[in-house]
Amino acid sequence: MNEPTMIKVESRPEETSSTPREWIRKNLFSNIPNTILTIVFGAFTIYAIRGVLGFVLSGERRWEAVATNMRLLMAQGYPANQFVRVWFTLGCLMALTGLSLAAWKASGRLPATKISIWIMNTGAGLALFAVLAPISAASKLGWVIAAAIFLLIGLGIWFGLRGENKRPTGSMPTVWFSFGFLAILVLSLWTVPYGHYAFVEGELIAETGRTVAMSTKLPFTVMWLILVGSYLFGVRIREYIPSGRTKAVLVGLWFLSPFILNWIVLRDPDFDYAHIASTDIPLALLFIIGGGVALYILSKPSLGEVGRILAIGLLFFAVFNWIGAFFGWYSMLQKVRISFVLLALAALIAPNFASDRKTRLRFVAGWSALIAISHWLITAVNSPSTLELQGPTYLGGFSLTLFVAVLTLLLSFPLGVLLALGRTSTMPIARVLCTGYIESIRGVPLITILFFFSNILPLFLPEGMEIAELAAIVTGYTLFSAAYLAENVRGGLQSVMREQYEASDAIGLTTSQRTGFIVLPQALRVSIPPLVGQAIGVFKETSLVAIIGAYDILRIANSVVPAQTEFLGVKREGLLLVSVIYFIVAFSMSKYSRRLEERVGLGER
């Protein structure tokens, strides 16, 4: 298989190495306007850094407010005695990350040049810090020594490995460099006295000069071990299991992980086993067997158009169930209504599997897995949580931000692609509906939609039907974000040339094959930059959920911590932390998008 990353421009000339002096003269002081700009912006940068450092290190700052409230900022009121669930969730994600790194052969290598420059830059940054920070002379000396050590290590790598061309040779795997970096961070938890802050039984414990609490450093160490261990395990099993299968399993696990980790692990449903045995399992079996038989028949090649007519009839029936439930004409389990919709959709795509017996059986097996997983999730979601909670939701703080962002992105992507396809399709009804939907949603502010879904929607629901606050938030946000996503995808669709359509028609592809194999891959490739921009926007705008009473990280930093008796009015520290966290996540997404663009060769071909 061709690795897309292997494209390398061999003809690019080697960069002529210049001495630092030449480089500075060429780039910073080449002419008078350039010199003025360099001096002005240099002075401005130094002033800004000095201001920020002065703010961060000022004696008035009460960073213990942030340190003490770290758990509140991350997970709000998640019960302390159940916190192991949070760590288990993180551990699962770490294991998946490690296995994926191994499965996708994260084979990038960092050249020694780059490592050496990074280390020297860190040293230079520390030196700048020592010069600019308003700290005592003694501590300045300490920082200068640290800076010197970094510079020496960097120079040591540079000159120790220097080969031809005056540049160091050699490289190390990026993965191990990252692991090493994380290891240093984790080790610092055990050795560096960051300070010990806790809130136990209403008493504030603040001891400077100690390392962080055991409940912080131990789990993070375990997380690191899980990450590295699963990577090594993944590398080992690569020899025994074909990589295609591992990747398929991992993709499936990644997709399921938000649902399972959230509703099963974090929420801990209190299953009513008697009800499950009497109703849930028989229902699931009924749908697996009955639906499986129906789909097997529907995917029969000789069935022809009749299959499609039946599938459409089934879809009408499935939709009618929801209308009937809305007006309360007859009662049917919500689970059954969802299953009928799934069955109708499966019946619609059944002709695509109209082939030999093996393909049809695989289709039926897929259906069984879908029903098993969806029924299990619906049961779990509908079971009450065993957690003893202070508020209406078990999520809060940064975990709520992540939950809303991840779920919204996961759900709005397929919806947005469908809307874009509908809007560009030649079917008038679909086009009008999709256009109307997109335009009406885009004409309404997100705040309005959130208010609508949390306050007004419950009034419209039939008696006895309730929608949970979190579900309302995610639903409204998904519908909103899908409309914007659709427009981004439509931009991509329009960039696909007419010849592509004509060519695929000429070789006899069906409409769905043309869309799936020819049009969408090209359209999505072009849409990567706006799609990632949209994803970053979705992540950042989750802070709006605060207006309908949910505690996201920004609200906790902005109005909860400053209202605590111990930290009255202490707001700026928390806000700075929150902006740093938002920046880290958004910047990583943008960095990843750049890499993705490079991989698919966007802007190059």
**Site residues for other proteins, window 568-587 (CB under 8 A)?**
568-569, 571
305 contacts other proteins (rule: CB under 8 A): no
Pick one of 93, 128, 297, 479: the residue that binds other proteins (CB under 8 A): 297
363: nearest Cα among 288, 459, 295: 295
State which of positions 256-285 bind other proteins (CB under 8 A).
272, 275, 279, 283
At closest approach, how far in Å is the CB of 279 from other proteins? Answer: 5
Nearest 5°: phi and psi at 109?
-125, 140
Pick one of 382, 440, 448, 513: the residue that binds other proteins (CB under 8 A): 382
Pick one of 390, 448, 513, 588: the residue that binds other proteins (CB under 8 A): 390
384 contacts other proteins (rule: CB under 8 A): yes
- Kindly indicate which of the ranges 364-372, 475-483, 497-505, 551-559 contains the residues binding other proteins, using the contact rule CB under 8 A: 551-559
Structure-block tokens of residue 210: 């100690």
109: left (phi over 0), alpha (psi -120 to 50) or beta: beta
Decide: 562 and 571 in contact? Cβ < 8 Å. yes
Pick one of 127, 144, 155, 333: the residue that binds other proteins (CB under 8 A): 333
Q: What's the full length of the chain, in residues? A: 605
Pick one of 48, 256, 389, 432: the residue that binds other proteins (CB under 8 A): 389
Query: What three-state secondary structure class fits 28?
Result: coil
- Kindly indicate which of the ranges 176-184, 187-195, 375-383, 437-445 contains the residues binding other proteins, using the contact rule CB under 8 A: 375-383
State which of positions 339-358 bind other proteins (CB under 8 A).
340
State which of positions 198-217 bind other proteins (CB under 8 A).
199, 202, 204
563 contacts other proteins (rule: CB under 8 A): yes
Structure-block tokens of residue 284: 């699931």
Pick one of 388, 499, 502, 604: the residue that binds other proteins (CB under 8 A): 388
Decide: 554 and 578 in contact? Cβ < 8 Å. yes
State which of positions 451-510 bind other proteins (CB under 8 A).
455, 458-459, 463-471
Tell me the CB-side half-sphere exposure of residue 406, using CA atoms within 13 A.
15
10 contacts other proteins (rule: CB under 8 A): no
Secondary element (H or E) of residue 116: helix 112-132
Decide: 367 and 288 in contact? Cβ < 8 Å. yes
69: left (phi over 0), alpha (psi -120 to 50) or beta: alpha
Pick one of 336, 354, 361, 457: the residue that binds other proteins (CB under 8 A): 336
State which of positions 61-120 bind other proteins (CB under 8 A).
68-69, 71-72, 75-78, 80
294 contacts other proteins (rule: CB under 8 A): yes
Pick one of 355, 559, 579, 588: the residue that binds other proteins (CB under 8 A): 559
Bridge partners for 203 per DSSP: 200
Q: Quote the DSSP letter at residue 207.
A: E
What is the bridge-based pairing of β-strands 171-173 and 109-111? antiparallel
